[in-house]
Chain A
Amino acid sequence: MTNMIRLHTFNGGIHPAENKDQSTSRPIASAGIPSELVLPLHQHIGAAAQPVVAVGDKVLKGQLIAEAEGFVSVPLHAPTSGTIAAIEPRAVPHASGLEELCIVIRSDGADEWITHQGLCQTLNVEHLQDITPRQLVEHIRSCGIAGMGGAGFPTSVKLNIGKQDIHTLILNGAECEPYITADDMLMRERAIEVVKGAQILLHIVGAKRCLIGVEDNKPQAIDALNAALVEVNEQHHIDVVAIPTKYPSGGEKQLIKILTGEEVPSGGIPASIGIVCQNVGTSAAIYRAVELGEPLISRVITVTGDSVARAGNYDAMIGTPVSYLLQLAGYQQQKRERVIMGGPMMGFALPQLELPVIKTSNCLLAPTEKELPLNDVAMACIRCGMCSEACPAELLPQQLYWFSKSQEFDKAEQHNIFDCIECGACSYVCPSHIPLVQYYRYAKGAIRDERAAQAKAEKARLRFEERQARKDREEAEKEARRKARAEAAEKAQQEKKAAAASGDVATAAPAASEELEKLQKKLDAAQTAKAKTQDKLDAAKADESMADKIPAFEAALVKTQDKIKELAKEIAAAKKAAKAAQAAEPAATATDKGDPNSPERLKRKWETAQGRLDTALKRLEQAKAEGLDTVDALQAGIDKQQERVDEAKAAYEAALSGDAPAAPAPSAEELDALRKKILAQEDRVQKMQERHDMAKADGLDTADALAMGVQKQLDKLQQLQQELTAAEALAANANNGAS
């Protein structure tokens, strides 16, 4: 140690029996080549790798057998030479107990390497400067390196720090779990690799310093690291820091707190406070990848516990069966068999032994019952608070337990259950032997499920409310339109009246005809009277005795004639007025043309809506084909659009039937457009049908949805056809009228 590093401490923590000496007495031994290796495609956080080999293929050691799929993923390489025996689901070491796709390699024993090359031949700082961090990260990724300490996060992702300013690189060599000594032995024997890996990492993240945190119960590892630092003359950037032995100091968050005094924000990552943390094993693997070009195909694993005769550390190929390793270490089966992958605090008990070692497996612990007694029956929580004193996350485990048990998940969340790192310190100290961590796992799972369900319900609710609001809005609009129409009609009426008042002859049509009849009758009467007077006049002219009455008769005749003339005039005027009234009526309807609810406008509206729907549908198909996650949103949009189209159509149809006599005859262009539309629609129906048939043939579960789609499109087609018929009839009428 060249610089003095001020150490900090984290809350709580425990001191379980270390049990490390059993496995540190002998050097790391090679586990050899098992006859069969099982390589799960999913050994890390993120997406599973995709196989690039086929059953029967011959592969060489280090050959790529599965490539990364997506950003958060790492490729997989053959740990030894041999033949691909199978690519099939096998049991994998995961708490779920589920099977996952694995590549099975039958080894040929030759262990023949593929030609491989590092990025720089002899690694030193000068050479490093010639390689960009990007190149290095890409290389690390292509070598399949994932975090070897815990969760197995793809290392390249962790090193992709973006714009974050990293000031400190931390190498985690704390190894605080009891029994596990894999990192300890690695640091003792391969300190130089760890240190050179640190150099590479420093270059990548651009940090000024690197702290290697090692618990002070590993003095040999600390000495070895310091010696390696002197060897590569790196004492100025890299410090080996001995930290007090306390579980869980190797937790990333805890180690960061110890070494820097800073805390990783809840829910955040170390990079957000300028820190990158890597496991020492990962660092060594990075060195091997960069200098030697070796992908991650083996790792050091501790095999220990009183059930094995030769506890120690083994350099085992990834994919080595657990049973093989146990046998190598002299495993004696116990009456109540128990094998734990990982340590006693956070490891998980394997359901069977035919499971492979994966990139994150750091220990196999096969204890006897005497060594690690099974838990007693749990007693009630006495709220002694010993758990909260031990909790490194400064939680109140007793309260979390209470809330988890009574399913008061909101309170559990309020008590920060998601900050629990499941270290098990609370369970360890609990005098009532309550399996607390189990409760937290349950509660976390339940809360996650609940959140997902809630998000879904919320989405549905929003959609419903939106639809409701739209309906209301449309209702209001409709009402407004109805009112507007009524007003318009009223106005037209008034205009007509005004017109009648201004023109003396222009009377309302029914009134005019009545008048006309009356006038006609009068005229008839006048003409009869005239004829009679004429007769009388003629008789008087013939009869001398009545000669004195002739002038009187003549005057009467003139009078009648005048009357007749007048009546004729009146009749002509009345007839004109009636005609004018008839002409005025279409004029009144014609004023509707500027109204937004005129059928043409409504139709245009409908057409635009339909057009939009069509584009949306196209987009949806595309999204579905590409498996984009916008599908849901698009679908929602389409539903909405469909409604709009339906409404527009309904409005149009209502207008059409209501104002039928006023509907103008469709022009030839309009008819043409309609016909084209029908053709397009027929096309669409056919395409939909084809897709439906295909889906049905493939037994896809989209078939039902597609069937519905076909029906919809068919309906639409029918509608269009009806429309066309109606339009054609209208046009024909108009033509008849014109001729």
Chain B
Amino acid sequence: MGLLTLSSPHTHGPNSTSKVMAIVALATVPGLIAMTALFGWGTLINVVLACAVALASEAAILLLRKRPVSFFLKDNSALLTGVLLGLALPPFAPFWVTAVATSFAIVFSKQLYGGMGNNPFNPAMVGYALVLVSFPVQMTTAWALSTQMTGAPAMGFADTLSVIFAGNAHLADAFSGATPLDAYKHLIAKSTSDDVLAQATFNGWLNGGWEWVNIAFLVGGVLLILRRIITWHIPVAMLSALTLCSLMFGWDEDMYTPLSLHLLSGATMLGAFFIATDPVTASTTPLGKLIYGAGIGILLFVIRTWGAYPDAVAFAVLLMNFAAPFIDAYTQPRTYGHSKARRGLPEKK
């Protein structure tokens, strides 16, 4: 009679992977708006550019791998990688920096591992780390100053396009500068906190507008938790660890970056809610997520404080990606009916 016989369950919840990816991407919108409002068109242009490159690279490699292109493009994972990279890169980064980072992220750190779900490292962060070590100049000087700092409106759309695509970097001279994290770290070595704040970069504003960006990402992240797309474990663990480290080792504002700068500057919130929580490369057990998040928080503090780079979300996340499978193996939850959790690897027979 040809009845349909499929295995149970015969019903399915409303969720889908494409939807999950789309929701995560949408949750970055508050952050994107804040970035655009404070730093000009650069970020928005980057996001669009990165998305285009991401989708194009994904499609190209899917063709090479003889996979159904539209089916996989619809999972929105390439799109999300593009969005995250666009948000993370400096607003005035030349177009080729963005293009290299994005295509490397998609091709090498995702598709060459077998595509979505099989990559051990966060693709966006691999792309970011690549351009950070390859093009340190562009990656540190192409940051924009916020309108709060400059006291003037942001650079116009046409000029921004010209800076990014035509290499007319000089146009951005008046609008760009080191990030507050970078500046504070360098200046505090020679002066006191009060002196630093008096400097032009800060103009009396500790976070130089970044606090709004971070708060906007925080809002987006909380929405994700409420929608049960991500769980609280990783962001909470990461921010707590960062806070704790800062209070324990970096409490002296005249020597170290202060806590408020750690939390509300740079890519902290973007990292905590959108990057560290990338499910594919993170730990997946409840306890594992706490350890994983805390690890990122600690590494972030260590690299920011004693390392060569002003910000360190990419490296911290990548380092913990290494540890995730190991963490998972040792943090299995206790199963119903078992007196204690079974952890570790199976004994070799």
Contacts and interface: CB of A to CB of B under 8 A. Distances in A.
Contacts of B3: 337-339, 349-353
B12 A416 contact: no
Given A379-B75, A435-B7, A385 B231 contact: yes
B15 A394 contact: no
Contacts of B117: 379-383, 432
Interface residues on B, range: 35 or more
Contacts of B284: 383, 385, 388, 396, 398-399
Interface stretch (B141-149, B162-170, B183-191, B329-337): B329-337
Nearest to B1: A352
Contact of A337 (B1, B10, B12, B115): B1
Nearest to A384: B279
Contacts of A338: 3-4, 6, 10
Contact of A419 (B17, B289, B335): B335
13 contacts: A346-B9, A351-B5, A352-B3, A353-B1, A374-B4, A375-B12, A380-B117, A380-B118, A385-B279, A416-B338, A419-B336, A435-B6, A441-B7
Contact of B15 (A352, A381, A431): A431
Nearest to B117: A380
Given A399-B328, A410-B346, A432-B17, A349 B336 contact: no
A389 B225 CA distance: 13
A337 B2 contact: yes
Interface in B13-61: 13, 15-17, 19-20
A213 interface: no
A416 B118 CA distance: 23
B337 A428 contact: no
Contact of B337 (A265, A374, A415, A438): A265
Given A352-B1, A380-B116, A399-B328, A344 B337 contact: no
A424 interface: yes
Given A394-B333, A410-B349, A437 B7 contact: yes
Contacts of A367: 10
Nearest to A333: B1
B335 A416 contact: yes
Contacts of B335: 266, 393-395, 416, 419
B280 to A, nearest CB: 5
A268 B337 contact: yes
A394 B336 contact: yes
B64 interface: no
Contacts of B338: 265-266, 416, 419
A348 B19 contact: no
A536 interface: no
A353 B4 CA distance: 12
Interface in B214-256: 228-229, 231
Contacts of A433: 12, 16-17
A429 interface: yes
Contacts, number: 176
B70 interface: no
B12 A388 contact: no
Interface stretch (A8-16, A59-67, A280-288): A8-16
B11 A178 contact: yes
Contacts of A374: 4, 6
A398 B284 CA distance: 9
A348 B8 CA distance: 6
B6 A382 contact: no
B71 A377 contact: yes
B336 to A, nearest CB: 5
A370 interface: no
Contact of A14 (B13, B19, B346): B13
Given A342-B8, A416-B335, 19 more contacts: A10-B336, A16-B13, A345-B11, A350-B3, A351-B3, A351-B5, A382-B116, A382-B279, A383-B284, A394-B333, A398-B284, A411-B345, A414-B346, A419-B338, A427-B12, A428-B9, A431-B20, A433-B12, A435-B7
A383 B279 contact: yes
A486 B45 CA distance: 102
A268 B5 CA distance: 32
B285 interface: yes
Contact of A373 (B12, B71, B346): B12
Nearest to B74: A379
Contacts of A345: 8-11
A413 interface: yes
A394 B6 contact: no
B8 A347 contact: yes
A411 B117 CA distance: 19
Contacts of B231: 385, 389
A349 B279 contact: no
B115 A380 contact: yes
B84 to A, nearest CB: 15
A375 B336 contact: no
A384 B284 CA distance: 7
Contacts of A348: 5, 7-8
Contacts of A438: 7
B65 interface: no
Contacts of B276: none
B225 to A, nearest CB: 12
Contacts of A375: 6, 12
B278 to A, nearest CB: 9
Interface string A452-471: 00000000000000000000
